[in-house]
């Protein structure tokens, strides 16, 4: 859907400084702060330090960097940087989704045949490579980044998390599943451009809701870690 400039936050001038989409940049940065809090918290309280949870922690770090870039290069500082700077946020978002897919696959490793596990690793790597090339190509756009998120979540992450919950009955996987389903809400709001007004538009609403999504993901990963510790004793 084509974005309507009339619904974007008005530009704010602080002396000679031009701040584009101030509320949107702040709410985007709120997602980044939530992610970095999650990364620091999970990194400090790591009762389990295997490949699966390293992937989860790096997922939050990649999104913290990506959302910080999106907040300022994608919105707030657009008067001073070119369109290409938006790609930084898209690329770190792609890296984050790839790490979440690898974390989900690693968590299911013990219940998967070796050949299937290796095949799925190749699929994750291939999907990453395809979207990396696409984002770096002249045909790049935010829609490509959105499509990459959808392919990873619907095609890989959601099925793997569901498989783990059915197989291991770990409430952490259930919370992550709930978070992924909940993420449909901000996605619909963004794509349908549901807004209150120019100062709290569909960007801002979806960003606030995505903070809740990231909080649920942090809680889910922490629960997954704690239950893993309990079952290993």
The residue ranges of every structural domain in the chain are: 5-232
- Please, are residues 30 and 205 in contact by the beta-carbon 8 Å criterion? no
C-alpha span between 38 and 60 (Å, rounded): 7
Which residues share a beta bridge with 200? Answer: 197
Does CATH number 1.20.1070 belong to domain 5-232?
A: yes
C-alpha span between 62 and 154 (Å, rounded): 20
Give the Cβ contact number of residue 197 at 10 Å. Answer: 9
- Please choose, from the candidates 50, 58, 155, the residue with its C-alpha nearest in 3D space to the C-alpha of residue 109: 50
pLDDT in tens, the chain (233 residues): 455 678 999 999 999 999 999 999 999 999 999 999 999 999 999 888 899 999 999 999 999 999 999 999 999 999 999 999 999 999 999 999 999 999 999 999 999 999 999 999 999 999 999 999 999 999 989 999 999 999 999 999 999 999 999 999 999 999 999 999 999 999 999 999 999 999 999 999 999 999 999 999 999 999 999 998 888 76
Tell me how far apart the terminal alpha carbons of the chain are, to the nearest angstrom: 52
Sign of CA dihedral 201, 179, 151, 31: positive
């Amino acid at each position: 859907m084509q974005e309507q400039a009339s619904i974007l936050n008005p530009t704010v001038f602080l002396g000679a400084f031009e701040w584009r989409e101030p509320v949107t940049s702040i709410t985007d940065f709120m997602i980044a702060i939530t992610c970095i809090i999650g990364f620091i918290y999970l990194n400090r309280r790591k009762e389990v330090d295997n490949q699966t949870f390293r992937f989860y922690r790096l997922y939050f770090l990649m999104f913290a960097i990506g959302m910080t870039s999106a907040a300022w290069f994608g919105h707030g500082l657009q008067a001073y940087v070119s369109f290409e700077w938006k790609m930084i946020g898209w690329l770190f978002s792609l890296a984050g989704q790839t790490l979440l897919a690898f974390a989900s696959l690693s968590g299911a490793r013990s219940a998967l045949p070796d050949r299937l596990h290796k095949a799925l690793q190749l699929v994750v790597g291939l999907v990453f490579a395809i979207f990396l090339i696409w984002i770096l190509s002249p045909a790049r756009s935010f829609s490509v980044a959105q499509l990459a998120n959808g392919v990873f979540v619907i095609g890989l992450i959601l099925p793997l998390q569901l498989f783990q919950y059915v197989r291991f009955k770990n409430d952490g996987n259930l919370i992550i599943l709930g978070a992924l389903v909940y993420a449909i809400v901000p996605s619909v709001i963004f794509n349908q451009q549901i807004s209150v007004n120019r100062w709290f538009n569909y960007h801002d609403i979806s960003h606030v809701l995505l903070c809740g999504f990231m909080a649920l993901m942090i809680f889910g990963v922490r629960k997954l870690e704690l239950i893993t510790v309990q079952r290993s004793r």
